[in-house]
Amino acid sequence: MLKTYTWPRFAAREAPERGASTTRRVPLVIVGAGPVGLAAAIDAAQRGLPVLLLDEDDTVSVGSRGLCYAKRTLEILDRLGVGQRVVDKGVTWNVGRTFHREREVFSFDLLPDAGHRRPGMVNLQQYHLEQYLVERAQALPAIDLRWKHRVAQVEPRGDGALLHIDSAEGPYTLHADWLLVADGARSPIRRQLGLDVEGQVFRDRFLIADVLLDGEPFPLERTERRFWFEPIFFEGESALMHREADNVWRIDFQLGWEADPEAEKQPARVAPRIRALLDQHGFAHIGFELEWVSVYTFQCRRMKRFRHGRLLFVGDSAHQVSPFGARGANSGVQDTDNLMWKLQRVIGGRAPEALLDSYAQERESAADENIMNSTRSTDFMTPKSRAARTLRDAVLSLAAEVPAARALVNSGRLSVPSTLADSPLNTPDVDAFEGWMQPGAPMDDAPTHEAGASGWLLPAFGDGFALLFFGAPAADERALLAVLAVAEEPLRTVVVLPPGVPALPGLRYLHDAQSLAARRYDAQPGSVYLIRPDQHVAARWRRLDAGRVLAALRRAGGHQVATAEAATSA
Amino acid sequence: MTQHLHLMPNFGSPGQRHRQAYAGGDAFYERLLDAHRGLSDAQSELLNARLLLLLANHIGDLRVIGEAIDLARAGIAEPPPPSKEAS
């Protein structure tokens, strides 16, 4: 029992399918109501897809698990309707400071540029996030959320999968046209099907302690992440401190591979380490209580393929990383952001199944990037040979004086979204652009004004495909945009105007309040971006050309494109 | 103070750009660790020395190399606390 949180117990309901003479066929089943499965279910429901969400338990995450939610994830949570709750309850931070013994050797700022709705990172205990997602899911009638329903066996079929499910009242069977597997790192479904997950196990152990403090080491508005190499308060290799909600602080101690997990978890062993950390940083007056203690090891690995026919793997079931980059839950939520609009189109008959291969391609690449960064951090933090240790120590010994060495200090490279540069859905540039908003990039945010009210660029996107048009469109451009708006694939337009330029009726107009949107998108009057339903850039041009837009739209929707544009991009 | 030796982060590949400033340096570090993988301590020392000779020759400018030697040596003249052995 925690001082600061009481786990809810959700009521298990009886399955209406039990005892039925025929097997019920449902379009979409998601297994696992963790943050990733819940995000997927909410996204599906918001896109009009009925979904059955199964979980073998009847409560939210137990223990100290996911902690840091990155800017991109917060933007997705905004779209799912829980972003503000997470930000309000959680602890916002952007600055991380890294020490070697007593000396500060490196610091980073996740969000050096202002003008984004969301901060670089918000810390929040995973159970709060899950609870908000559950409450949101319960408010959506399209979600049939079943607690204490355990998938005992999956039989993949060409047209879906047969699911044999155990519930308190007994077993039943369903036919799912599509199955999303979000059942976690140990994924019983992945194991039952004998699917490979390949990678590297790290030979090290880390102790997590969640502690409730009776004072504040630093004020809430100046929250930062602190990391120590060879800390003076602890005999191990490294330590990490994060602030969570409710003045709970999470401290990770790197114990080494030989440590005995059971012995290390004993409060009599943990408490003096916490006390030493506080005392040696001038906080001898602050008392604490232990909320949670556990010891963990980790792996960096992924499934070779995230799509197996009608089975789609998302989150930890598909890929796992070390925890030092906050790339676990964040990348899992980003998987669902990528997948659900595609699934909506395939189930609705508006896109070929091949569109789902782009989910696999894009998110396998993203997983590789996450695994690469998280492996590099781990290799720096836990050197595996004398040579690796000497190199690490050389970096730390130079870091305080030499900026080049400081840049190599790696205490975790924190989650940033992948630019899907090699995606088959992208239409390569034919015009020259500066900046980072290349095809495949997740949209940068910017402050806007709309009809006198302050707002943000990102919330204007995220349902269907849309055009982002910069500057006041001329009459002929307005005529083209009107045609595109009612085409077979309706394409909304959002116009971003410089401050002071008057809006015209007929289109949605946002004013670029600080001219940051134009700068971030390297926009000139007439520049136009094609935006995917997951707020990634699909294509961009210096001037509107309806033929090119339609070709790019077909390509981004997973259709074969056999036009001159396609040929030039081969 | 160094007059000729660059001390600012400088890793990258021509024509490649990275949104995250750490990407180039991290790629270098990984490449170097990979080269050491599977070597004995003595072999690793030899690898480092061979690498040093190649890079020093590539730089060539003895003013740069001299400043680098002095800076590297200065940090060792005031020895840091002994580092712990790998467990």
Question: What are the pLDDT digits (tens) for A101-157?
Answer: 999 999 999 887 899 999 999 999 999 999 999 999 999 999 999 999 999 999 999
Q: Is the pLDDT of residue A562 over 80?
A: no
Plot region of A158 (φ>0 → left; ψ -120 to 50 → alpha; else → beta): alpha
> How far apart are the C-alpha atoms of A122 and A132, rounded to whole Å?
15
Tokens of A447: 């402050």
Within 8 A of A113 by CB-CB distance, chain B residues are: none
Q: Is the pLDDT of residue B85 over 70?
A: no
Q: Report the gap between the CA of B64 and the closest CA in chain A (Å).
A: 15
C-beta separation of A556 from A480 below 8 A: no
Confidence (pLDDT) at A505? 84
Strand partners, A295: A207
CB contact under 8 A, A383 and B86: yes
Which of the residues A235, A395, A408 would you substitute to probe the B interface, choosing the one with the greatest number of B C-beta atoms within 10 Å?
Answer: A408
- Lowest average pLDDT, out of A19-23, A80-84, A157-161, A229-233, goes to A19-23
Beta carbons within 8 Å of A193's beta carbon, 6+ residues apart: A154, A156, A308, A311
Within 8 A of A404 by CB-CB distance, chain B residues are: 6-10, 25
Q: What is the pLDDT of residues A236-280, one digit of tens each?
A: 899 999 999 999 999 999 999 999 999 999 999 999 999 999 999
Q: Is the pLDDT of residue A567 over 60?
A: no
> How far apart are the C-alpha atoms of A31 and A166, rounded to whole Å?
13
For chain B, give the mean pLDDT.
90
> Cα-flanking dihedrals φ and ψ of residue A295, to 5°?
-120, 135
Q: Is the pLDDT of residue A94 over 50?
A: yes
Nearest CA to A176 out of A56, A307, A45, A312 is that of A312
pLDDT band at B81 (very low <50, low <70, confident <90, very high): low
DSSP 8-state class, residue A51:
E
Closest Cβ–Cβ partner in B9, B81, B87 for A101: B81
Amino acid at B49: A
Helix (H) or strand (E) holding A54: strand A51-55
Confidence (pLDDT) at B79? 59
CB contact under 8 A, A380 and B29: yes
CB contact under 8 A, B25 and A407: yes
CB contact under 8 A, A404 and B7: yes
Domain ranges of chain B: 41-78
**Crossing angle for the helix pair B23-36 and B41-59, nearest 10 degrees?**
130
How, if at all, do strands A528-531 and A466-470 pair?
antiparallel
C-beta separation of A310 from A304 below 8 A: no
Closest Cβ–Cβ partner in B10, B21, B86 for A389: B86
Confidence (pLDDT) at A201? 86
Q: Where are the alpha helices (DSSP H) in A348-385?
A: 354-381
Q: Is the pLDDT of residue A63 over 90?
A: no
Q: Is the pLDDT of residue A31 over 60?
A: yes
User: Can you give A515-560 as a three-state secondary structure string?
Assistant: CHHHHHCCCCCCCEEEECCCCEEEEEECCCCHHHHHHHHHHHCCCC
DSSP 8-state class, residue A108:
E
Closest Cβ–Cβ partner in B6, B71, B83 for A393: B83
Residue A279 burial (C-beta neighbours within 10 Å; 0-12, 13-18, 19+): middle
CB contact under 8 A, B80 and A389: no
CB contact under 8 A, B33 and A388: yes
Tokens of A549: 């837009």
Per DSSP, the residues of chain B read: --SSS--S-----TT---SSTTHHHHHHHHHHHHHHTT--HHHHHHHHHHHHHHHHHHH--HHHHHHHHHHHHHHHHSPPPPPPPP-
CB contact under 8 A, B20 and A403: no
Q: Is the pLDDT of residue A565 over 70?
A: no
Confidence (pLDDT) at A324? 85
Q: Is the pLDDT of residue A429 over 90?
A: yes
Mean pLDDT score, A494-523: 95
Mean pLDDT score, A461-485: 96
pLDDT band at B2 (very low <50, low <70, confident <90, very high): confident
Which of the residues B5, B29, B43, B84 would you substitute to probe the A interface, choosing the one with the greatest number of A C-beta atoms within 10 Å?
Answer: B29
- What is the share, in percent, of chain B residues with pLDDT greater than 70? 86
> How far apart are the C-alpha atoms of A400 and B24, rounded to whole Å?
20
Nearest CA to A255 out of A276, A277, A240, A275 is that of A240
Within 8 A of A402 by CB-CB distance, chain B residues are: 7, 71
The count of other CB atoms within 10 Å of the CB of residue B79 is: 8
Closest Cβ–Cβ partner in B7, B33, B47 for A403: B7
Within 8 A of B75 by CB-CB distance, chain A residues are: 397-398, 401
The strands making up A447-450's β-sheet, listed across from edge to edge, are A453-456, A447-450, A508-512, A492-497, A466-470, A528-531, A537-541
Helix (H) or strand (E) holding A512: strand A508-512
For chain A, give the mean pLDDT.
94
Q: Report the gap between the CA of B12 and the closest CA in chain A (Å).
A: 12
CB contact under 8 A, A410 and B29: yes
Question: Which residues, numbered 348 to 407 in chain A, qualify as contacts with chain B under a Cβ-Cβ cut-off of 8 Å?
Answer: 372-373, 376, 379-380, 383-389, 391, 393, 397-398, 401-404, 407
Mean pLDDT score, A161-190: 97
Q: Is the pLDDT of residue B87 over 60?
A: no
> How far apart are the C-alpha atoms of A85 and A78, rounded to whole Å?
9
Q: What is the pLDDT of residues A211-226, one digit of tens each?
A: 999 999 888 889 999 9
Q: Report the gap between the CA of B47 and the closest CA in chain A (Å).
A: 10
Mean pLDDT score, A368-394: 94
Closest chain B residue to the Cα of A404, Cα to Cα: B9
Q: Give the CA angle between residues A378, A382, A383 to the nearest 5°.
A: 110
- Whether the CB of B71 is below 8 Å from some CB of chain A: the reply is yes
Domains and CATH numbers, chain A: 24-91+121-197+302-377 (3.50.50.60), 206-297 (3.30.70), 447-568 (3.40.30.10)
